[in-house]
Structure 1
Amino acid sequence: MTRHRITLDEFHRMVEAGVFPEDLRLELVEGDLLEMSPIGKRHAAKVARLTAHFAPLTPTRALLYVQSPLVLGSSELYPDVALLKPRPDFYEEALPEGKDALLVVEVADTSLRYDLTTKLPLYARSGVPEVWVVDLEGGRLLVHRHPEGEAYREVEALGAGKRLSFLGVEIPTEELL
């Protein structure tokens, strides 16, 4: 069996050429194309709730980026929600990179292992300062702060009854669990 790895540029050319169906959810992880699972209603509802909470921050304090590409070295991931540093062109000239992210949120219904073992190290290595992983199965929210290498120095597990705050937006954890 021969494995063919592709570069970020090759991936972008393939997307622009219409090689993939529009509804196909792909991520490029260090040269490998990975097909993502379809999003279920519970997952979609949590993303919508996060979007509603963070919407007042846009466009002056942060740009709200929902299930859109984030370039991390040779990878391109599609976090469920990202808050990006504001830019006048809204990242039309170039896709945002890890250094542009203020916060990334992943909602994990069936993808917890992938989010923690594959995506989280890429976010840390790319300098994303804070990542929240909403563990729907486990009923907890994992908050990762202060990237160092491929990990985060601070990891906090929150259950119901707690509050998260980011850029002045307060979110009760039970709304995300």
Structure 2
Amino acid sequence: MGILKPDDRLELIHGELYERNPIGSKHAGIVNKLAGLLNGLFKGKAVTGVQNPVQFDDRNEPEPEICLLKYRPDFYASAHPVPADVLAIIEVSDASIRFDTEVKAPLYALGGIPEYWIIDLDNNWIEVHTNPKKGSNASIQRYLPGEEISLMEQRLSVNELLILS
């Protein structure tokens, strides 16, 4: 119908199209760094999706910054991943922090996503949501610079994830 353009940055959440915020250079740099790091750590063990859709249902198809997926030799070329394929989702947040915590966190928990990270660029911390139950996460832990986070038995430095060097 010509309403949407191919370069529109949109996500389908709860049956509504949400316009995604423009990505700043620090935000983009962190996403690129994470993608490279995770690709190296989990080569042959997981697929790292970058700003690609996850098909929850007909009303929900978010496009997280980073999605760590169960390994498939076709790299999900035959179909978008579904929540059962997801090992972890990572959102990099600045202007989108409220949306990522109030809208996406409950959606990901409802979908049973085992681990959801919010990398908060404004506050310089990483919030990790785990143990999803009935649309919320039983555990939310905040990690600060100088600390380490575990992802699939790999230890990662918060400093390394938050700072571009």
TM-score, length-scaled by structure 2: 0.90
- For the 8 Å contact 1:129–1:147, the answer to whether it is kept is yes
> Is 1:115 matched up with 2:115?
no
- What is the aligned length? 161
Shift of 1:93: 2.0
Name the counterpart of 2:29: 45
Query: C-alpha distance in 2, partners of 1:19/1:97?
Result: 27
Deviations 1:124-171 (A, max 9, x none): 111110011001111211011111111111110111101112134332
1:32 to 16, 20, 26: 16
Name the counterpart of 1:62: 46
Query: C-alpha distance in 2, partners of 1:87/1:152?
Result: 27
Shift of 1:172: 1.1
SS in 2 for 1:77: coil
Could you tell me which runs of 5 or more consecutive residues in structure 1 were left unpaired when the two chains were aligned: 1-13
Letter in 1 for 2:25: K
TM-score, length-scaled by structure 1: 0.85
- For the 8 Å contact 1:104–1:132, the answer to whether it is kept is yes
- For the 8 Å contact 1:72–1:123, the answer to whether it is kept is no
Could you tell me which runs of 5 or more consecutive residues in structure 2 were left unpaired when the two chains were aligned: none
CA RMSD of aligned residues (A): 1.7
Query: C-alpha distance in 1, partners of 2:160/2:95?
Result: 19
Quick one: percent identity of the two aligned structures? 38
Name the counterpart of 2:124: 139
Q: Mark the structure with the bigger radius of gyration.
A: 1
- For the 8 Å contact 1:57–1:63, the answer to whether it is kept is no
